[in-house]
């Protein structure tokens, strides 16, 4: 494992002071089911932290790079950069899937569930870098490996999604940003289904579902837009 860590550190141009943080970032929950004596916990807490760090860094970068853009377009660009599909792409670009520890069953999956695991792991790595040495190296990582996809976002027209459209409508009519809340998680780890509600203030607009939180949020936004237009 230590040799693998050294190779991974070369891939991302960052050497961890606390190797256990990186081990934790690379440990999927399913791995502990088969290896209960593994010395570090699974990566979900680091994913939680890394998600927030990632969003802050991307938000700051977009704010500074596009001073003439309003909130709606900036939100759309950010959503296109940090959704699980893009984050899985980033993970694959640094060969992250070679290093993530997961169960034998999860390792065989090559579909959406695998992409979600990779996306979560990349967020956990960002969280680990932030805890290991602070904001600056975490920002360097995000700028190098995530923001490099910015041109792709524009070229492929990935900006306009349901969440962005709903954001613009809500801002235009109510001056309020929609918020998304996870209402329920069900199913085993490799086939988890999320139910997410979208709200304007205290008002519940719609509910969506999906195998990733981002999918469920997009579905909820689509449902809300459909109701809005009725």
Contact 160, 76 (CB under 8 A): yes
Tokens of 52: 């927030």
Catalytic residue (choose from 24, 51, 132, 215): 51
Contact 152, 158 (CB under 8 A): yes
Calpha distance 54→65 (Å, rounded): 16
Calpha distance 55→42 (Å, rounded): 22
Residue 184 has φ and ψ, to the nearest 5°, of -160, 145
Question: In degrees, to the nearest 5, what angle opens at C-alpha 65 toward C-alphas 60 and 67?
Answer: 95
Torsion of the alpha carbons at 141, 142, 144 and 147, rounded to the nearest 10: 180
Calpha distance 4→217 (Å, rounded): 35
Catalytic residue (choose from 47, 61, 106, 123): 123
Residue 204, helix vs strand vs coil: strand
Is 189 a residue of the active site? no
Is 51 a residue of the active site? yes
Q: For residue 133, give the H/E element and its range.
A: helix 112-133
Which residues are annotated as catalytic? 51, 123
């Amino acid at each position: 494992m230590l040799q693998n860590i050294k190779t991974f550190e070369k891939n991302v141009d960052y050497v961890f002071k606390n190797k256990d943080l990186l081990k934790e970032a690379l440990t999927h929950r399913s791995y502990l089911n088969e290896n209960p004596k593994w010395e570090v916990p699974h990566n979900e807490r680091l994913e939680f932290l890394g998600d927030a760090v990632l969003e802050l860094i991307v938000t700051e970068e977009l704010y500074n790079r596009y001073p003439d853009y309003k909130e709606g377009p900036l939100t759309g660009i950010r959503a296109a950069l940090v959704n699980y599909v893009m984050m899985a792409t980033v993970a694959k670009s640094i060969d992250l899937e070679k290093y993530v520890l997961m169960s034998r069953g999860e390792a065989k999956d090559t579909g959406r569930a695998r992409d979600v695991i990779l996306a979560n792991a990349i967020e956990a790595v960002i969280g680990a870098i932030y805890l290991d040495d602070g904001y600056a190296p975490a920002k360097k990582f995000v700028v190098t490996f995530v923001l490099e996809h910015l041109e792709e976002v524009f070229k492929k027209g990935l900006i306009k999604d349901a969440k962005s459209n709903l954001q613009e409508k809500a801002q235009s009519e109510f001056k309020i940003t929609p918020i998304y809340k996870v209402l329920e998680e069900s199913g085993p780890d490799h086939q988890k289904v999320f139910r997410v509600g979208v709200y304007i203030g205290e008002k519940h607009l719609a509910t969506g579902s999906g195998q990733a939180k981002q999918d469920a949020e997009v579905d909820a936004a689509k449902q809300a837009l459909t109701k809005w237009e009725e």
